[in-house]
Chain A
Amino acid sequence: MNEAPKLNSFRAGPDEDGRFGIFGGRFVAETLMPLILDLQAEWDKAKNDPAFKAELDNLGAHYIGRPSPLYFAERLTEELGGAKIYFKREELNHTGSHKINNCIGQILLAKRMGKTRIIAETGAGQHGVASATVAARFGLPCVVYMGATDVERQAPNVFRMKLLGAEVKPVTAGNGTLKDAMNEALRDWVTNVDNTYYLIGTAAGPHPYPEMVRDFQAVIGQEAKAQMLEAEGRLPDLVVAAVGGGSNAIGIFHSFLDDEGVKIVGVEAGGKGLDGDEHCASITAGSPGVLHGNRTYLLQDGDGQIKEGHSISAGLDYPGIGPEHSWLNDVGRVEYVPIMDHEALEAFQMLTRLEGIIPALEPSHALAEVIKRAPTMGKDEIILMNLSGRGDKDIFTVGKILGMGL
């Protein structure tokens, strides 16, 4: 067999049609095509506009609190007895996760386009809260679609969204989770094309969303790289992040894709195990298909019907993944692995007790992988993990599982 030609860069995608290899694209109804083309034209202008970048940087510094710290987890490192573990502290951002980076960027675009109404989908509620937050900040009405199941298990975030003035619409179709919320948001968008901006929360959907969301989140990796060089004088040996749709992961990965010595691992939700249907491991247990505007790895049956995923973490509970991750998997640049619910739960508790940081259940998956790998690595090696969100929202879920009354 011939060897595949070596790529000059892993950071060149997507092409002008929004493709990363066979993944990505624009698989949407005709009603949405003109909107997506308008959005792309505006995005192409904005990303080369120094005024846009200046506004983004200003809000990043004074509203979000960027740069987020790079933190050496000394006690965790000691406990595991191997590689040095650093966290990129995205959970310290305003609203408690990386989601705000993307929301600030997209709402500035919405303003440029003269849109007067914001819609968003949310799973765990972190993106919903971030969307409601920026909508309040810019004085725009906001409707958040959220699966009815998630509304129930993420009650604190539902209340936060309402306080921020957003209307939360529970979606009962299907299993009432993130995929169903996304369907409903798309239906709203095709009905209200004139005034509405759809603020997608992850690096998935039709082109240009995967590229745009990645670029707004890429600040995570850019900062982390500079901070790591300052702290250690060199790049990490391993970068780890949790992957649902994949925005926090692509955000921290992107700056390191062309650094050959840096191994990169994305952690999917293994749920209750890959043998049954109760997981959300699109890459490790799915196959390529077309959903929500892009071709990517999906959980589906032999007839191309999309399956409902399961994860202890509502934020990872999506049967697809951003198209760039699918491509990075197929070209072999990033390794994707599953972590089970119980492993994430153990990691959650370990970090809380050893470092005094309550992580969200999403990055707890990444942490569980770090806990597995660190002891097998040398003490002179370095792991960088994206601590993408804080766990306040998850205390009720965790309390229930651990049998602790709140």
Chain B
Amino acid sequence: MTARMDRKFADVASEGRPVLVTYFMGGDPDFETSLSIMKALPKAGSDVIELGMPFSDPMADGPAIQLAGQRSLKAGQTLATTLEIARRFREEDQRTPIVLMGYYNPIYIYGVDRFLTDALEAGIDGLIVVDLPPEMDDELCIPALQKGINFIRLATPTTDDRRLPKVLENTSGFVYYVSMNGITGSALPDPSLIAGAVERIKAHTKLPVCVGFGVKTAEHARAIGASADGVVVGTAIVNQIASSLTEEGKATDATVPGVEALVRGLSAGVRSARLAAAE
């Protein structure tokens, strides 16, 4: 549903702060724990949730998210059970937008029409599918928009002014600016460079611009949030989950509270971002 996303961004903007977008891998380390993690996220201050769909060959992700996907698949996660996590979450929370993030093949095999129907029914608000550039819009982007599901596109430092209009053309919900060329979990680049990039994108669109890749701490979130409409944190959360697991990769009592504590800190970071910028 596109309305829930737009409402959330408008509400948060009226609070005078950037949106905190948090990513975790569905089914990592198991279905029940990851459902508990999802339920904990809004309570800890996350505004928008990116729910990762595991894939065996995550070409654009670093080792942390790749391992999370492997743990999830090993525990028996499928696209159907990832949708089930969203459905169960929606029973308790009707306001937090959910964005499914992953790769195209599991969706293609599930069947695009069936997937969109089930996603809508599960309360999904948007999709980020890493390996579907605008040149491939007929595959999923256009059908998703027709059903009223946002299709959120990544823009990167290689997306120059010539290419930006094409990238933004069918984008909705928000624009996800990948702050560097590389894989998820790399080092954070200079915040001043990011501010320039956000401005460049905003010259082409009215959509909110969220920045991700490399945001690990509350301090990062604060620095990025000074210029961006939203801050995306993924690898740091996935690493937090990984560090709480047993040697066999099983959840412990520390798994969910660990994520809560991290996200609470990040949330404090984004809530002070504009104060910092005004100083």
Contacts and interface: CB of A to CB of B under 8 A. Distances in A.
Given A30-B155, A304-B106, A187 B59 contact: yes
B186 interface: yes
Interface in B206-259: none
A405 interface: no
A28 B66 contact: no
A289 B109 contact: yes
Interface in A1-49: 17, 25-35
A300 B133 contact: no
A303 B133 contact: no
A191 interface: yes
Contacts of B159: 30, 33-34
Contacts of A300: 105, 109
B165 interface: no
B264 to A, nearest CB: 31
Given A27-B131, A173-B66, A191-B186, A304 B59 contact: no
Interface residues of A, number: 36
Given A27-B104, A34-B163, A303-B79, A187 B57 contact: no
B57 A291 contact: yes
Given A30-B167, A31-B181, A289-B109, A190 B132 contact: no
Contact of B158 (A35, A293, A305): A35
Contacts, number: 115
Interface in A324-379: none
A30 B60 CA distance: 10
A354 B65 CA distance: 52
Interface in A245-281: none
B156 A30 contact: yes
A81 interface: no
A34 B160 contact: yes
Contact of B109 (A25, A27, A186, A303): A303
B55 A305 contact: yes
Contacts of B262: none
Contacts of A179: 57
A56 interface: no
A33 B109 contact: no
Interface in B133-171: 133, 135-136, 153-160, 163, 167
Contacts of B156: 29-31
A183 interface: yes
B178 interface: yes
A342 to B, nearest CB: 29
B78 interface: yes
A190 B109 contact: no
Contacts of B106: 303-305
Given A17-B135, A30-B133, A30-B154, A190 B60 contact: yes
A50 interface: no
A302 B56 CA distance: 13
B68 interface: no
Contacts of B63: 173
B181 A33 contact: no
A304 B79 contact: yes
A306 interface: yes
A183 B181 contact: no
Contacts of B110: 303-304
A62 to B, nearest CB: 38
A127 to B, nearest CB: 19
Contacts of B160: 34
B195 interface: no
A290 B183 contact: no
B108 A290 contact: yes
B154 A26 contact: no
Interface string B108-146: 111000000000000000000011110110000000000
B79 A31 contact: no
A186 B163 CA distance: 21
A174 interface: yes
A300 B158 CA distance: 32
A33 B133 contact: yes
B60 A291 contact: no
A250 B156 CA distance: 35
B59 to A, nearest CB: 5
Nearest to A26: B135
Contacts of B153: 30
Interface in A67-106: none
Nearest to A293: B131
Contact of A31 (B60, B80, B103): B60
Nearest to A38: B158
8 contacts: A27-B104, A28-B133, A29-B59, A29-B60, A174-B57, A289-B109, A304-B79, A306-B57
Cβ-closest 7 pairs across A and B:
A304-B109, A304-B106, A191-B182, A305-B56, A303-B78, A304-B105, A31-B156
Given A29-B130, A173-B63, A173-B66, 5 more contacts: A186-B59, A291-B105, A302-B109, A303-B79, A306-B56
Interface of B: 54-60, 62-63, 66, 73, 78-80, 103-110, 130-133, 135-136, 153-160, 163, 167, 178, 181-183, 186
